[in-house]
């Protein structure tokens, strides 16, 4: 799905550009920010419009302690993007509109407190549970992006351009949350049944914690070279 949206942006921008420019300027940039680190290709479509195709990634390890269960977690950013940048004054200032492939997720592995897991207020012997895992990811496979910034890598200035972008990605009304606990062979069946009820409650707690994370802030710095 996200490939189709990004392809549509590319085709639309190309159609606009064909009216004014037969020989588009291009630039290659490096980016770093809240979407990760990566590269970007900028294609000048008109004097005031350019298309930016990029990909950024980053992994960050952390600990989540927002519920009864403590997780060793990793934030995984994988974000292809297609953005149209409009420079209304033919200078560096621009407004941006586009799409980001929302392959961002948090993967967590539950860590027992000593020899015990506490899930939904109930204690379980860690040796009797196979694993406790949780995954949180955006509900939209393609997320719209809006923003503004400074810098036109295919503008009339020199070959090198410093880039700044500020905006937000809309990841969807509710993130997708999965929480799983497996019963070990020595866990009694009645406790296994209760464990599944408790892990469902744990999932709801995680949903409540991340329910407001529908907009993801974007701050991006970069440096581009025009060919």
Q: pTM of the entire structure?
A: 0.79
CA–CA separation, 44 and 152 (whole Å): 9
pLDDT score for 209: 85
Distances (CA, A) of 180 to 45, 132, 137, 211: 48, 6, 15, 19
- Burial level of 152, CB count in 10 A (0-12/13-18/19+)? buried
Model confidence at 105: pLDDT above 80? yes
Give per-residue pLDDT as tens, 123-144: 999 999 999 999 998 878 899 9
Q: What mean pLDDT is predicted for residues 2-23?
A: 47
Q: What is the DSSP letter of 11?
A: H
Backbone angles phi, psi at 75, to 5 degrees: -85, 125
- Closest Cα to residue 67, out of 200, 205, 198, 208? 205
Burial of 110 (0-12, 13-18, 19+ CB in 10 A): buried
Mean pLDDT of 67-90: 94
Q: Spell out the CATH class of 2-226.
A: mainly beta
Which residue did the predictor score with more confidence, 17 or 189? 189
Per-residue pLDDT band for 196 (boundaries 50, 70, 90) equals very high
- pLDDT given for residue 180 in this prediction: 96
In whole angstroms, give the CA distance from residue 179 to residue 196: 10
Residue 109 buriedness (CB in 10 A; 0-12 / 13-18 / 19+): middle
Average pLDDT over residues 197-210: 92
């Amino acid at each position: 799905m996200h490939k189709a949206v990004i392809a549509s942006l590319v085709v639309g921008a190309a159609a606009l550009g064909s009216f004014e420019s037969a020989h588009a300027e291009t630039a290659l940039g490096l980016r770093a920010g809240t979407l990760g680190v990566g590269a970007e290709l900028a294609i000048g479509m008109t004097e005031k419009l350019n298309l930016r195709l990029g990909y950024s990634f980053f992994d960050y390890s952390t600990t989540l302690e927002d519920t009864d269960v403590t997780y060793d977690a990793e934030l995984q950013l994988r974000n292809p993007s297609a953005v149209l940048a409009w420079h209304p004054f033919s200078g560096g200032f621009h407004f941006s509109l586009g799409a980001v492939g929302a392959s961002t997720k948090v993967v967590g592995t539950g860590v027992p407190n000593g020899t015990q897991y506490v899930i939904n207020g109930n204690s379980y012997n860690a040796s009797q549970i196979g694993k406790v895992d949780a995954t949180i990811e955006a509900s939209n496979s393609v997320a719209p992006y809006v923003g503004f910034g400074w810098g036109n890598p295919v503008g009339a200035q020199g070959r090198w351009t410093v880039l700044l972008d500020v905006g937000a990605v809309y990841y969807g009304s509710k993130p997708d949350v999965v929480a799983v606990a497996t019963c070990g062979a020595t866990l009694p069946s009645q406790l296994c049944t209760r464990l599944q009820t408790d892990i469902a409650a744990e999932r709801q707690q995680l949903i409540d914690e991340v329910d407001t994370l529908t907009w993801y802030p974007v701050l991006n710095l970069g440096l581009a070279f025009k060919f």
